[in-house]
């Protein structure tokens, strides 16, 4: 058996809120096929996506009231996973049930807890409040990437790669050579990089000119905050050089939050949810649209690199990776993930092939 | 080694008669690649589809007279599998041969026996006579389904699924809730379901109005007969309610035979041959065409369910399936299949990689 | 571990000269992903196609001067494989390097040596001089074939298959039945076949009429010369019957050299480089074009057979192949290949997953 690459006792983004409705959505989370739907009161529910009877994915069936009807023989399951109807049969086998997963809806995401339900504390949902805070405007996407979710975390924890992967938009030599500071806490790690008094890269030059009418040199920041196991918020922006941003006075600048949460689908594939929220030009739909597609273009460049990297890793089993100075943030993220996995240890919640 | 899922000592439909001709047809039956063709007298033959010399599939070669010429170096094999010519060589290696398989043509299908040729008794070919009986009209198709052939048998042995999978055509609640009787013999199992005095579902309402000008309530029957290992004939129809159909007087009704024979291609894929024969409106080509395509549409709904089920089974190795009342027929079918496999036991005919 | 199917201490054609330039070309040779490019002085270089840092294929990066910049974090490697720059870091880890491979450019091919660099003697590059000799004109292609490269060698060493695979162009019964002589040396094997005083097959009838205005019977030759491990030159042509060609006087005839060198990509796939050079009608571009496409069509027929054969071999592990008289040349080629592999024996150069 391969070593675990993700903890089970954690909240994972399973879907954007609008993806879950009155028809069933099938999606694999941490290796477990799940079926998502909303009840008549609008609340979302998650069941294991395999009928107790013949294993047909319940997501091929339909929602009836607050329950799910299997698309093969019509067994009905409620949101707790208990079978409430069997065809041509009065008595229902008491073992007839499928797993139901703890679920919380917050910050425009549906979060699911694949591990021990007793530990599913909603207070542990990662903070992505910018995603539905009226002081911020933005939009995002879900992309499917064929790599270990940790490679995406590595990628986000070191923005040196912007220079080489995204040279045409947000990257320039200033990023690759700027010094940074890496710190960490119990479940989080932070990498802070200030580039003071620089020429802004094309993307930020356009934003600050558009929003503030400013065209000169800037102080630029990137504050990357990782929250284990798989959420990364990047506080990014520029302000006029010398206007006090490094000291906390950002009002003359423009500020964005790149929200990322990357849910393992399997050990080598993931659902990557991201959004870009900004605190300027809030009412401009056109800008929202433009930024969303612009960021999507940047992430497609990452996707290509990440999938190539995964294929190379698959080909070099046991390869011991070398770390550079720039990897400090990623090393801390990996260590925090490893700790969560180890903490589950022998008590790691078993995912039985079937719940019964 | 995985446990056997099909007996080898059985007749399996390998092709519709019209599929086999003077060019070679390659098809895998019970895991064995076979090449089919017709001799000059029109009789069909089946050889192992791999040349003795370099393993090139013989189906890439051509028929010459009653023999097959390999498409690589021109070795010639007769219908018994014996090599009769080698290039640039006078003496033919006496070991140069490929397996030839017993073959019978009956009821519009070419049947092949992958097991011990000594046991290949033509009397054991399943009865599908409706397929070329002038008192019946119909047509069918071959579809390739990526699932264990036994999942198709399960599907056919319990028509409860009509309500959920085929709700828009032949299914309604009456089917799922109607009582049924399951019986069995040495090599066959039967499930009989009568739905008396019901509103006919859309399909049958149309047929009895068209053929008999009748528009009222009906007695509906479904008599499913399984013949081990993989043939299922479903006697279906409706007659005016109270006209005596349950007692055997069907002349005021309309009657169809759904013919199904499902040949393992591999352990997890099959060739599914089906046809629909009717005893009414015999001369109407348009109706034959319409029924064939209508049934094909219904079977596509099954195909989707069956392949999803196979993928789920592959993901849950060792899952112990629970049976409901509705599974009585399928359970008997499985038991009869298991008996045939067990009977081969240690004497199970070995399929050597090569015949020589 | 599977037995080796190719030696590592050998020159393998990796690309046509024009394929390698100032952007990176990624190609797998003998199982090793390699990245090819040209330096500012035009000389070609080959590096292992996986960055020392995070394994990203270097071929996704870019060439800068004489060096390669990784497309992820910007590490720079020179043509010797040594890292010369790391982002945000003054000191370079001395272990930071990737493998560099000996490389020779000759006869319009870029040749690479995957084994022990100390043994990479340029004198061992196979002779394909017709490919850039002004006394010959021609052109060729690279095709990717999903089979063990040795199956291509087998195919070329016995032209009996022309009759059955290429019956519509170059094959006729005369080939399959003509006697041949097989000889061999230390690293080469030769099969010579003369078909004297025959009707020329369609292809050659056209060539000799076009070039020499001759329309009668011919003496035809096929002299196949294999050079271990994977180069085959076939000297082919026809001359007027009785004009002395078998004795060495070919001036009244037309002569072609079919150049083939087949580089293992993996154990079951290969890069097949071929060209057809002729010593007549040298200045006719149209003929060059026509011959190139004609030969390409013939090789597509082989490709189909070779890939079908590989699939059959995969399905029959351990199958002991039978040899016919016609296999004499291929048997010698196999024996010479085996000798090269055995000679590497325990000293077989290890391909480490990583060079460091």
| Nearest residue, CB atoms, C316 vs list B55, B71, B88 | B55
**C-alpha distances out from residue C143 to B180, C139, C152, Å:** 62, 14, 12
Q: Does C24 touch chain A (CB under 8 A)?
A: no
**How many Å apart are CA C293 and CA C278, to the nearest integer?**
14
Closest residue in B to A75 (Cα–Cα): B164
Contact between A235 and A223 (Cβ < 8 Å): yes
Residue A32, classed as helix, strand or coil, is strand
Q: Is the pLDDT of residue A40 over 60?
A: yes
Inter-chain residue contact B54 with C316, CB threshold 8 Å: no
Q: What's the distance, CA A271 to chain centroid?
A: 7
Q: Is the pLDDT of residue B347 over 70?
A: no
Quote the mean pLDDT of chain A.
Answer: 93
Residue C37, classed as helix, strand or coil, is strand
Inter-chain residue contact C326 with B73, CB threshold 8 Å: yes
Tokens 């990498």 correspond to what residue?
Answer: A191
Chain B neighbours, 3+ Cβ pairs < 8 A: A, C
Altogether, the residues listed in chain C come to a count of 356
Inter-chain residue contact B74 with C312, CB threshold 8 Å: no
| Nearest residue, CB atoms, A164 vs list C52, C71, C93 | C71
pLDDT digits (tens, 9 = 90+) for B37-52: 999 999 999 999 999 9
Q: Is the peptide bond before B229 cis (omega within 30 degrees of 0)?
A: yes
Q: Is the dihedral of CA C262, C265, C269, C273 positive or negative?
A: negative
Could you tell me which residue, C184 or B172, shows the higher pLDDT?
Answer: C184
pLDDT band at B352 (very low <50, low <70, confident <90, very high): very low
Tokens 């542990």 correspond to what residue?
Answer: A124
Inter-chain residue contact B354 with C319, CB threshold 8 Å: yes
**How many Å apart are CA B84 and CA A335, to the nearest integer?**
70
Interface of C with B in 216-245 (CB under 8 A): none
pLDDT band at B31 (very low <50, low <70, confident <90, very high): very high
A·C CB contacts under 8 A: 77
| Nearest residue, CB atoms, A312 vs list C50, C61, C86 | C50
Side-chain-facing half-sphere of B86: CA atoms under 13 Å: 21
Contacts of B56 in chain C (CB under 8 A): 305, 308-309, 312
Inter-chain residue contact C55 with A312, CB threshold 8 Å: yes
**C-alpha distances out from residue B110 to B8, B17, B106, B274, Å:** 16, 6, 7, 14
**How many Å apart are CA B98 and CA B163, to the nearest integer?**
48
Inter-chain residue contact B89 with C325, CB threshold 8 Å: yes
Share of chain B above pLDDT 90, in %: 83
Inter-chain residue contact C308 with B52, CB threshold 8 Å: no
Contact between A76 and A67 (Cβ < 8 Å): yes
Closest residue in B to C314 (Cα–Cα): B55
Q: Does B313 touch chain A (CB under 8 A)?
A: yes
Segment holding C173, helix H or strand E: helix C173-177
Task: DSSP for C64-123, please give it.
Answer: ETTEEE-TTT--EE-TTSBEEE-TT-SSPPTT-B--B--EEEETTEEEE--S-GGG--GG
**How many Å apart are CA A99 and CA A113, to the nearest integer?**
12
pLDDT digits (tens, 9 = 90+) for A77-91: 999 999 999 988 889
Inter-chain residue contact A324 with C52, CB threshold 8 Å: no
Q: Is the dihedral of CA A237, A238, A243, A246 positive or negative?
A: positive
Give pLDDT, residue A354: 42
In 3D space, the residue among A213, A214, A259, A252 whose CA is nearest the CA of residue A236 turns out to be A259
Give pLDDT, residue A173: 67
Q: Does B326 touch chain A (CB under 8 A)?
A: yes
Segment holding A310, helix H or strand E: helix A285-315
Give pLDDT, residue B88: 82
| Nearest residue, CB atoms, A353 vs list B316, B321, B325 | B316
Inter-chain residue contact A93 with B318, CB threshold 8 Å: no
Bridge partners of residue C137, in order along the sequence: C278
Inter-chain residue contact B60 with C164, CB threshold 8 Å: no
Inter-chain residue contact A316 with C69, CB threshold 8 Å: no
Closest residue in B to C326 (Cα–Cα): B88
**How many Å apart are CA C289 and CA C281, to the nearest integer?**
12
Q: Which two tokens stand for residue A321?
A: 């990776």
Chain A nearest-CA distance from B266, in A, is 21
Contact between C220 and C188 (Cβ < 8 Å): no
In 3D space, the residue among A279, A236, A27 whose CA is nearest the CA of residue A142 turns out to be A27
Could you tell me which residue, C341 or B173, shows the higher pLDDT?
Answer: C341
Residue numbers of chain C with a pLDDT score lower than 50: 352-356
A314-342 exposure pattern, b = at least 16 Cβ within 10 A, e = fewer: eeeeeeeeeebbbbbbbbbbbebbbebbe
A37-41 long-range contacts, Cβ below 8 Å, gap at least 24?
A37/A63, A37/A68, A38/A63, A39/A65, A39/A66, A39/A79, A40/A65, A40/A66, A41/A66
Other beta carbons within 10 angstroms of residue A179's beta carbon come to: 10
Q: Is the dihedral of CA C172, C175, C176, C178 positive or negative?
A: positive
Determine whether B218 is exposed, middle or buried from the number of CB atoms within 10 Å of its CB (0-12, 13-18, 19+).
buried
Residue A154, classed as helix, strand or coil, is helix
Q: Is the peptide bond before C15 cis (omega within 30 degrees of 0)?
A: no
Closest residue in B to A56 (Cα–Cα): B309
pLDDT digits (tens, 9 = 90+) for A295-340: 999 899 999 999 999 999 999 988 888 899 899 999 999 999 999 9
Inter-chain residue contact B326 with A60, CB threshold 8 Å: no
Q: Does B164 touch chain A (CB under 8 A)?
A: yes
Inter-chain residue contact B50 with C163, CB threshold 8 Å: no
Q: Is the pLDDT of residue B351 over 70?
A: no
Q: What's the distance, CA B217 to chain centroid?
A: 33
Inter-chain residue contact A87 with B165, CB threshold 8 Å: no
Q: What is the pTM of this model?
A: 0.90
Give the CA-trace dihedral at A42, A48, A50, A51, to 10 degrees.
-70
Task: DSSP for C293-318, please give it.
Answer: HHHHHHHHHHHHHHHHHHHHHHHSTT
Other beta carbons within 10 angstroms of residue B127's beta carbon come to: 13
Task: DSSP for B240-287, please give it.
Answer: ETTSSGGGT--TTSEEEEEEEEEEEEETTEEEEEEEEEESSSTT-HHH
| Nearest residue, CB atoms, C55 vs list A177, A304, A316 | A316
Tokens 């009585």 correspond to what residue?
Answer: B328
pLDDT digits (tens, 9 = 90+) for A192-236: 999 999 999 888 999 999 999 999 999 999 999 999 999 999 999
Inter-chain residue contact C60 with A325, CB threshold 8 Å: no
Q: Is the pLDDT of residue B173 over 80?
A: no
Q: Is the pLDDT of residue A68 over 60?
A: yes
| A-interface mutation test, from B174, B180, B311, B312, most A Cβ less than 10 A away | B312
E strands, chain C, are 12-16, 25-29, 32-38, 44-48, 62-64, 67-69, 76-77, 83-85, 103-106, 109-112, 137-145, 181-184, 188-198, 218-227, 231-240, 254-266, 269-278
Q: Does B11 touch chain C (CB under 8 A)?
A: no
Contacts of C177 in chain B (CB under 8 A): 87-88
| Nearest residue, CB atoms, B56 vs list C179, C305, C325 | C305
pLDDT digits (tens, 9 = 90+) for B126-150: 999 999 999 999 999 999 999 999 9
Q: What's the distance, CA B83 to chain centroid?
A: 32
Closest residue in C to B90 (Cα–Cα): C325
Contacts of A50 in chain B (CB under 8 A): 312, 316
Contacts of B324 in chain A (CB under 8 A): 53, 73, 86-89, 93
Sheet containing strand C103-106, edge to edge, reads: C12-16, C109-112, C103-106
Give pLDDT, residue C353: 41
In 3D space, the residue among C342, C341, C277, C2 whose CA is nearest the CA of residue C131 turns out to be C277
| Nearest residue, CB atoms, B321 vs list A54, A95, A96 | A54
Q: Does C8 touch chain A (CB under 8 A)?
A: no
Q: Does B319 touch chain A (CB under 8 A)?
A: yes
Q: Is the pLDDT of residue A60 over 70?
A: yes
pLDDT band at B353 (very low <50, low <70, confident <90, very high): very low
**How many Å apart are CA B154 and CA B306, to the nearest integer?**
10
Altogether, the residues listed in chain B come to a count of 356
Bridge partners of residue C329, in order along the sequence: none
Chain C nearest-CA distance from A161, in A, is 5
**How many Å apart are CA A42 and CA A48, to the nearest integer?**
20
Contacts of B89 in chain C (CB under 8 A): 324-326
Give pLDDT, residue B219: 97
Q: Is the pLDDT of residue B226 over 60?
A: yes
Q: Is the pLDDT of residue B348 over 80?
A: no
Inter-chain residue contact A179 with C95, CB threshold 8 Å: no
Interface of C with A in 29-68 (CB under 8 A): 33, 50, 52-57, 60-61
Low-confidence winner among A94-108, A302-316, B171-185, C277-291 (lowest mean pLDDT): B171-185
- Phi/psi of residue C11, each to 5°? -85, 130
Contacts of A52 in chain B (CB under 8 A): 322
Segment holding A48, helix H or strand E: strand A44-48
Share of chain A above pLDDT 70, in %: 94
**How many Å apart are CA C256 and CA C84, to the nearest integer?**
49
Inter-chain residue contact A308 with C93, CB threshold 8 Å: no
Altogether, the residues listed in chain A come to a count of 356
Q: Is the pLDDT of residue A132 over 60?
A: yes
Bridge partners of residue C198, in order along the sequence: C218
Residues 6 or more apart whose Cβ sits within 8 Å of residue A167: none
Contact between C316 and B353 (Cβ < 8 Å): yes
Q: Is the dihedral of CA B347, B351, B356, C4 positive or negative?
A: negative
Inter-chain residue contact B304 with A60, CB threshold 8 Å: yes
Q: Which two tokens stand for residue B173?
A: 């609640």
Q: Does B321 touch chain A (CB under 8 A)?
A: yes
**How many Å apart are CA B11 and CA B230, to the nearest integer?**
10
Closest residue in C to A316 (Cα–Cα): C353
| Nearest residue, CB atoms, B313 vs list A55, A70, A71 | A55
């Amino acid at each position: 058996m391969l070593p675990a690459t993700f903890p089970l006792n954690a909240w994972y983004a399973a879907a954007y809120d609008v993806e879950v409705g009155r028809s069933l959505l099938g999606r694999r989370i941490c290796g477990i096929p799940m079926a998502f739907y909303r009840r008549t009161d609008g609340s979302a529910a998650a069941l294991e996506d395999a009928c107790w009877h013949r294993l047909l994915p319940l997501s091929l069936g339909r929602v009836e009231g607050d329950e799910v009807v299997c698309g093969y023989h019509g067994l009905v399951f409620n949101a707790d996973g208990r079978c409430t109807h069997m065809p041509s049969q009065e008595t229902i086998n008491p073992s007839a049930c499928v797993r139901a997963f703890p679920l919380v809806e917050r910050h425009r995401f549906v979060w699911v807890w694949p591990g021990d339900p007793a530990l599913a504390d909603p207070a542990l949902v990662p903070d992505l409040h910018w995603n539905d805070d009226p002081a911020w405007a933005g939009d995002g996407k879900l992309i499917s990437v064929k790599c270990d979710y940790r490679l995406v975390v590595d990628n986000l924890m070191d923005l040196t790669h912007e220079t080489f992967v995204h040279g045409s938009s947000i990257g320039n030599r200033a990023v690759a050579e700027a010094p940074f500071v890496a710190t960490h806490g119990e479940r989080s790690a932070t990498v802070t990089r200030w580039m003071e008094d620089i020429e802004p890269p094309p993307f930020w030059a356009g934003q600050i000119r558009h929003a503030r009418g400013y065209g000169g040199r800037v102080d630029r920041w990137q504050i990357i905050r990782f929250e284990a196991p798989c959420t990364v918020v990047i506080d990014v922006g520029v302000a006029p050089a010398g206007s006090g941003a490094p000291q906390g006075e950002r009002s003359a600048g423009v500020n964005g939050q790149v929200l990322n949460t990357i849910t393992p689908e399997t050990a080598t594939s993931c659902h990557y949810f991201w959004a870009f929220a900004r605190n300027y030009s809030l009412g401009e739909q056109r800008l929202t649209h433009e930024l969303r597609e612009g960021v999507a273009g940047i992430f497609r460049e990452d996707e290509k690199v990440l999938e190539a990297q995964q294929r190379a890793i698959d080909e070099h089993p046991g390869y011991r990776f070398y770390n550079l100075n720039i990897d400090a943030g990623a090393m801390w993220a990996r260590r925090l993930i490893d700790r969560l996995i180890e903490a589950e240890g022998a008590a790691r919640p078993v995912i039985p092939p079937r719940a019964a």
